[in-house]
Amino acid sequence: MTTLSQLEGRLLYKFVNSSLLEEALTHSSYTNEQKDISIKSDYERLEFLGDAVLELIITDILLDKYPTKTEGDLSKARSSIVREEILVKISKKIEVGSFVKLGKGEKRAGGGQRDSILACALEAIIGAIYKDRGYQYAYNFVNYFWSDYMEKVFTDELDVDYKTRLQELVQAKYKEVPEYELLKTAGPAHNRTFKVRVRVADGLDSIGIGTSKKEAEQVAAHKAFKSLITREEAVL
């Protein structure tokens, strides 16, 4: 049986006000099913706060860590670090999904492993830490769990948002946008796989498979992006 103290151990943070952590882990589907009128707060307000706090902290760290980078470089770096895919990876590392309170239907549908819920709950936790003990503690949390991504943000090692890079390349070269098509969904709700095709101008298409639709799209976009780059290099 999971407990809040177990999660605090994973977060490397002990809450003064544990009700903030409880709120950060409560999905709206859970509150909607409760008859107890005292249980009325889900994580959406803390998520709203956490989203802003995360962006501020990432900006703060990037400015200190990369003093010679331009505003444009830093803006792109920040976008690549605060996107949902990174939030989901960190959330899974901490196993946040095991602690989120869900309604019965959402739980049966595997909501505890849904990317959007994992990302939102992690942002809510950041908001909760900020409310609990202020900016420095939230900064320490983000600085620790995002440290690997900070080191790789200006290298090819960081997980690149290939959907964005593919779209920019295709728009510049063909004045069109890539088209994504979900080909297949397989497996039970808690362990699904998705197969996606992306069609690009000039007869190019690529297939991607992942544990979420977004992941499959990224895989497909990565393959298509590399194929386009290879074609351009062959022409030169």
- pLDDT digit string, tens, across residues 155-191: 766 656 788 889 988 998 889 999 999 999 998 776 7
pTM above 0.85, yes or no: no
For residues 92 and 2, give the distance between their C-alpha atoms in angstroms, rounded to a whole number.
Answer: 15
pLDDT in tens, 92-149: 999 999 999 988 877 777 767 788 899 999 999 999 999 999 999 999 999 999 999 9
Q: Which residue has the higher pLDDT, 111 or 67?
A: 67
Active site residues: 51, 123
| Structural tokens at position 110 | 């595997």
Task: Report how far residue 197's alpha carbon sits from residue 205's, in angstroms, rounded to the nearest whole number.
Answer: 7
Q: Which helix (H) or strand (E) holds 208?
A: strand 204-210
What's the maximum distance between 2 C-alpha atoms anywhere in the chain?
68
The reported pLDDT for the residue numbered 38 is 53
Averaged pLDDT for residues 7-17: 95
Mean pLDDT of all residues belonging to the chain: 88
CA distance linking residue 36 with residue 18, whole number of Å: 19
What pLDDT, on a 0 to 100 scale, did the predictor assign at position 202? 77
Helices (DSSP H) in 109-211: which residue ranges? 115-133, 135-145, 147-152, 162-174
231's enclosing H/E stretch is helix 213-235
